[in-house]
Structure 1
Amino acid sequence: MKRSTCNICHFSIKTCVCHYVSPVINNKTTLIVLQHPSEVSVAKNTVRLLNLQLDNIQAYEGEHPSDFLTPQKIASSSHCALLFPGENAIPIENIDKNVNPIDALFVLDGTWKKVNKIAMLNPWLNDLQKVSFSQLPENKYSIRKAEQSYSLSTLEACAHFLSCYESLNVKPLHDLLTGMIHEQTKFMPADVKQRYLNEEH
């Protein structure tokens, strides 16, 4: 099994994305991804892509507070925010990073059901200021069905945050996502591939 997996990108050798990776993006805000265990082995999970393309990112796998001891320490010692929609969420576009900078952004990775479970099991996340987007970009993650009309893949959400908050050029992230989609669909029958790529979200 290990021999068929790329040692760098950790995708299958047949769907390796290494040649799509651009020079690393130097983001100042630390992105802290809390990833549900069911996502780790998913071939199409985009956290792998973020790890390849971003300089400042940490990913932790788990569900319970005991799985996230290090993130909890970071949350208590730095000015952090949680990317999560809700009535009390502040639009990223309205935050002045020069006045109240976000040192670390927490992002939950998984299906909406799994993400909500992580949020429910970790009440310490409620102490973080929730942030969201006033306008969402189009979801380009065509190979995984969006559960909500406002759903973005974790990569797309992080890219949009870095674009809005740090004014970074996040095209390399979108190019990497496009490359991964190409690799994941290239062996599909033409009719199945077309259905995936034309699927509306």
Structure 2
Amino acid sequence: MLTHYCSGCGLISNWCCCSQSTPTTSRVKLALLLHENEPSRPTTTSKIILNTIQNTQAYLWKRNEPPLELIQQIEDKNTDAWLLFPADREELKVRQQEIKLNTGHETLIIVPDGTWKEVRKIVRKSPWLDQLPLLAFDPKTPSRYDLRRYPDPDHLCTAETVIELLKLCDELSPATQLTQAFDAFITHYKQSKRH
């Protein structure tokens, strides 16, 4: 029997959680930079981010095919672009800055998405990201995301990272909406696996 998946949340259609997501927008624009393996994973949280924070765009990362539309946005003089990535190595620490929202410019935050190994590869193999200031923070809340093998409470999934990012930018209402969508996604995913 053919299994149908919801295009909105990515879950099996019978366990769709889209009705529990309230679409909203944020003052900051998000660009999800997806490793090419990520969209096909049933546990990806990128779809609920796109479904909830409506001024989010997704770009597929391929090493030899840079996303030209995203690069044009980064180079736009009216855009303040940031890369969300931990400054966990010496060469990255010099790029770490505290975010300041400039009312005269659009704030664009690029969020790489994939496994930790894939995300590191995205950043390492994308020279067009090298000049961006790093937005790095150390969330105090352990991860609740336990849908993949070997969950690590110290590593937040992409949706949890975006929730913390929105809080950091004082976007509390979008952060709340995304938290509700994330909670519904976790619950529905687990229910679908049990049945």
* Fold shared by both chains (TM-score > 0.5): yes
Q: CA RMSD in A?
A: 2.6
Aligned mates of 2:151, 2:86 — CA distance in 1: 14
Match of 2:59 in 1: 60
Per-residue CA shift, 1:131-150, capped at 9, x if unaligned? 11144422111223567664
User: Normalising to structure 1: TM-score of the pair?
Assistant: 0.81
Distance 1:65 1:125, change over 3 A: farther
Letter in 2 for 1:186: Q
Instruction: Find out whether 1:164 has 2:168 as its counterpart.
Output: yes
Equivalent position to 1:175, from 177, 180, 189: 180
Q: Give percent identity, aligned residues only.
A: 24
Match of 2:96 in 1: 90
Post-superposition offset of 1:187? 4.3
Post-superposition offset of 1:101? 6.3
Aligned mates of 1:109, 1:70 — CA distance in 2: 18
Moved over 4 A (4+): 98-102, 145-149, 187-190
Letter in 2 for 1:39: E
Post-superposition offset of 1:178? 1.4
Letter in 1 for 2:127: P
Distance 1:104 1:140, change over 3 A: same
Aligned mates of 1:186, 1:126 — CA distance in 2: 42
Aligned mates of 1:146, 1:28 — CA distance in 2: 35
Match of 1:70 in 2: 69
Letter in 2 for 1:50: I
Match of 2:131 in 1: 127
More helix by share: 1
Post-superposition offset of 1:6? 2.6
Consecutive unaligned residues of structure 2, counting only runs of 5 or more, are: 88-92
Per-residue CA shift, 1:14-51, capped at 9, x if unaligned? 221122112x2220111011101111111110000001
Consecutive unaligned residues of structure 1, counting only runs of 5 or more, are: 191-201
Aligned mates of 2:193, 2:151 — CA distance in 1: 23
Aligned residues: 187
